[in-house]
A and B are shown apart, each in its own frame.
Chain A
């Protein structure tokens, strides 16, 4: 019983972390058709920037804020200066963003070193809650609550606000949105920045749970791609459901069949692509 409760908690917390990363990736793809492998670099940079801020100031909240803001700026520069120039060339985007991923991971290795590091959690989230004879690590519970709150906030913005309506329209037909007078380039830039900020914040939150280390960028972006493929490229609801599926399959797969740990991401991904390439909630 305790085993399963803990696995469910671990699966949910991983799922919420994945959602923070994959939601941006998915909406960015839906709107701009960009396959951005450097989205993993946003996570990595967020984690490392958060680490530095935390070591300087001791404030976890400031770490999240600074990481999200700086990564958003880096993301927007990247979108304007590089990715926009290979618009429409899918292989070109993949290779260019892979190049960006290599550069950032190498520079991060140089700057922050190669040892895995963990961010200190705020004191009040250390330890565990006791409930019905079971222990629940407080940090994971908080991460789950935080993930649901962010999901709700994004959903409200996309479905209930004017800018959200423009974004939804852009996913359907970006040319038409431009034609009726919206500055589509500015919308692209803002959405890209917001996606990068979410991934940067996820780097801080994830760095306090899983640690931050060289290679986390690539690991995370592949998991996020699995989520997005399963949920459907461009679909926010798909990113949420996909995060839950991958979060649980990864956690439970690793716990029950550790020798198959490396297959828990890619096998569901390939299966979905073969059976239904557009994913659960994507449009063909």
Chain B
């Protein structure tokens, strides 16, 4: 069989087993898995920019937050339909992504890192200061579970919501696979490796980067939708640099530029945070050490490390 078919079959099997697990696990474990899936989608979105296109955005929590706030506001003031909330949230995230992309793509290299960080902090400041819309530092509260309009799926229970989160993550993974395998995705990797050459070949490098930025923001918004309907609240912390840096860590620890790496990275970091914070109050020290160790020992991520070891064995 072709490797891509094997990978597809494995992915389907993993998601099927995961769906079956939902009914068996305790609601604590299911909730933990939902958290993992949410951050996996966010990391997947960032990876399109960071891993595929080579643009290290340090403000990705901004689009996550815009999606979450928008979906929350739609639920509180307009409609309890999941689809309206999700559509509005993704549109809003992509719109903010477009504006920020226009500004950020004026810079490159280290300046790109700094401007995306600054734009993320401006978004945090808006969430904090625009009290009449966002509730200020209290955030939005009392956001109920949405109505999917699908008979037979009750998302009011944790187990039911888990199925929704799983489907949302599977849809995101499938769509991302289509994007990175398309000629568009090929062009992004070409730009990552050699932008001048791609420009010489007639590609509009700026436009490709811009589109990657906007699409990446859309994925982050989708993650925000799943997040806010699950938690029932959203506050400015979800928009700040701590979340942005953590998502970047997830992408890197899993393997930037790979499809499955960001998923693994998100699971690893979220699991670790839950497990370690159960044992010690010094969770931030452990997280900080994780940042340091990953940069020292696995800067290319687990998937790449395993892949290299595998190829070395086969060629030996």
Contacts and interface: CB of A to CB of B under 8 A. Distances in A.
B307 interface: no
Interface string A255-274: 00001111100110110011
Contact of A103 (B50, B111, B245, B289): B289
A113 to B, nearest CB: 13
Interface string A93-111: 0111011111111110010
Interface stretch (B29-37, B115-123, B223-231): B115-123
Contacts of B299: 86, 89, 92
Interface string A26-40: 000000010100000
B87 interface: no
Interface in B262-291: 282, 284-285, 287-291
A144 B81 CA distance: 59
Contacts of B118: 226, 266, 269-270, 273
Interface in A199-244: 218, 222, 225-226, 229, 233
A94 B252 CA distance: 13
B295 A103 contact: no
B114 A91 contact: no
A277 B296 contact: no
A100 B121 contact: no
Interface string B237-255: 0000100010011001000
Contacts of B296: 82, 85-86, 96
Contacts of A98: 245, 288, 291
B295 A263 contact: no
A100 B289 CA distance: 7
B122 A96 contact: no
Contacts of B287: 99, 102
A95 B291 contact: yes
B56 A274 contact: no
A98 B287 CA distance: 10
B78 interface: no
Interface string B85-106: 0000000000000000001001
Contacts of A100: 288, 291-292
Interface centre among B106, B289, B292 (most CB of A within 10 A): B292
B101 to A, nearest CB: 12
B57 to A, nearest CB: 10
B284 A102 contact: yes
Contact of B113 (A86, A94, A226): A94
B264 to A, nearest CB: 17
- Main secondary structure on A side of the interface with B: helix
B288 A35 contact: no
B128 interface: yes
A90 interface: yes
Nearest to A29: B110
Nearest to B121: A266
B295 A270 contact: no
Interface string A4-45: 000000000000000000000000000001010000000000
B169 interface: no
A229 B290 contact: no
Nearest to A279: B111
Contact of A266 (B125, B245, B295): B125
B56 A106 contact: no
B116 to A, nearest CB: 10
Q: Which 6 A-B pairs give the minimum distances between C-beta atoms?
A: A99-B291, A102-B288, A103-B288, A262-B125, A106-B284, A96-B295
Interface of A: 33, 35, 82, 85-86, 89-92, 94-96, 98-107, 110, 218, 222, 225-226, 229, 233, 259-263, 266-267, 269-270, 273-274, 277
Interface of B: 50, 56, 58, 103, 106-107, 109-111, 113-115, 118-119, 121-122, 124-125, 128-129, 241, 245, 248-249, 252, 282, 284-285, 287-292, 294-296, 299
30 contacts: A35-B113, A35-B114, A82-B296, A85-B296, A86-B295, A89-B295, A89-B299, A91-B113, A92-B295, A92-B299, A94-B58, A98-B245, A98-B288, A98-B291, A99-B287, A100-B291, A105-B284, A106-B282, A107-B285, A260-B129, A263-B122, A263-B125, A263-B129, A266-B118, A266-B119, A266-B121, A266-B122, A273-B114, A277-B106, A277-B111
